[in-house]
Structure 1
Amino acid sequence: MDFYMTWVTANPLLSAAVQFALLGTLGEIISFTIQQRRLGLPGSGAQMIAKMFAWALLGVIIKYGFTGMRGFTRALLDHHLLPDFLGQGLGWALSVSVLTNTFFGPQMMAFHRLEDNLILGQKGFTGITRAWATLIWFWIPAHTVTFLMPVEVQIGLAAAWSLVLGVIMGLNRPRKAESSDSASPQSAGQVN
């Protein structure tokens, strides 16, 4: 754990990119495998490499987003626009999570859908409302836990949550041979 903490602290953007590239892509593969009931990839080899880079970019964006949203929440508290009890502990974690998933989450998901569309040669935003719903039932509670943790582990935990959501989405999707909405199980639900 010491090595991990040292690496993340010394390389915040690289570590965010690597963690999301690995765990986000793995979440997509697991979700696809569950949905298809057979081991498989949700794209060609070249598309999967592109998806790894897309997840890496998303990890960097999320790192910036988390940092910015913590500052935003602190500014609201400093200007007495949020009650003082939201300034520490569970109140802090919940307020950062709600604000992150309200102001940052929807745009980040739309960007991730654009990445998937470019990689897979698709158009449209089919299923984006389902993705946005995960902000309420999954990401706000998950990120409340995330923001209770030390800053050094928050990005790694967020990447792990994306894998968990991939499994949940895979289990809850109807089995389809091919669907434009199944381009990226995570695009239906990744905020970090």
Structure 2
Amino acid sequence: MKKGDFIWGGVLILWIAILAVPSTREVFITTTEAYPYIGGFFKFAILATMGELLGIRIMNGDWKKPNGIIFRAIVWGIIGILMTLSLSVFPAGITKAQEIGKLPFEGSIFAHALFTSAVMNILQSPAVFLFHKCTDTYIDEKHRRKGGSVTLKDVVNKIDWYTYLNFTVLKTIPFFWIPCHTIVFLFPSEFRVIASAFASIALGLILALANKSKTKVNI
């Protein structure tokens, strides 16, 4: 066990404690409902970054700060804002589709959660993952060039498109994210963003492992 293991675990325990204690949970829910986008930003910025750090820890056997960690956290925060909106838009859309007969099993809580997760992940997740891949690549290239100019063409040429499509899109979406978000949508609405944010620890971990695997292949 390393010092970083205790720090990382302590931060996770703190989050869990905030949600476990009724008084702090009430304050947390009230605040995030009053400022949903700010709450979504910080939840993802912190928790997804934790997942990314954990991925690096597992692959390297030690804690290492990734290049441009503040900018990476900001990117996660932007994704958190999008997810905050998505967790309202997609459930409402599925409800309407079931009401007008475009989707079956109206009134089934599980079917509603499953359809919402499937539609959201199929339509939105590839774009979100690509946005994350492009921004990560840009940050890495900016660091490698010591602040030099990085163009869109540089980013596109640097991305491992096979890994993005074969692993991130075709494997993590159907086998992890659709089941994961089905569970998220079974939660009451006030807990969905934080549940999704905790799932973002896994997202950060998965993408870090995918990026590290790509790096090992290229070495």
- TM-score, normalization: structure 1? 0.82
Q: Relative contact order, CA 8 A, sep 6+: which one is greater?
A: 1
Q: In the alignment, does 2:176 pair up with 1:124?
A: no
Partner of 2:42: 18
Q: 1:90 to 1:113 in 2, by over 3 A?
A: same
Percent identity of the aligned residues?
Answer: 25
Partner of 1:187: none
Partner of 2:198: 160
Q: Distance in 2 between matches of 1:174 and 1:12?
A: 31
Larger radius of gyration: 2
Q: Which runs of no fewer than 5 residues in structure 1 stay unpaired?
A: 183-192
Cα RMSD (Å): 2.4
Partner of 2:61: 37
Moved more, 134-143 or 58-67: 58-67
Q: Distance in 2 between matches of 1:169 and 1:62?
A: 17
Give the CA deviation at 1:11.
1.0
Q: 1:88 to 1:117 in 2, by over 3 A?
A: same
Give the CA deviation at 1:166.
4.0
Question: What are the superposed Cα offsets for residues 132-174 of structure 1, whole Å, 9 maximum, x if unpaired?
Answer: 120111111110110000111111111111213444666x769
Partner of 2:175: 137
Partner of 1:94: 114
Give the AA of the match of 1:14: I
Give the AA of the match of 1:148: L
Q: Distance in 2 between matches of 1:99 and 1:157?
A: 18
Q: Distance in 2 between matches of 1:96 and 1:175?
A: 31
Q: How many residues align?
A: 176
Aligned residue among 68, 72, 76 for 2:97: 76
Partner of 1:186: none
Question: What are the superposed Cα offsets for residues 108-145 of structure 1, whole Å, 9 maximum, x if unpaired?
Answer: 11111122122222532442121112011111111011
Q: Distance in 2 between matches of 1:174 and 1:53?
A: 19
Q: Distance in 2 between matches of 1:114 and 1:175?
A: 16
- TM-score, normalization: structure 2? 0.72
- Does the CA-based 8 Å contact 1:113-1:125 persist in structure 2? no
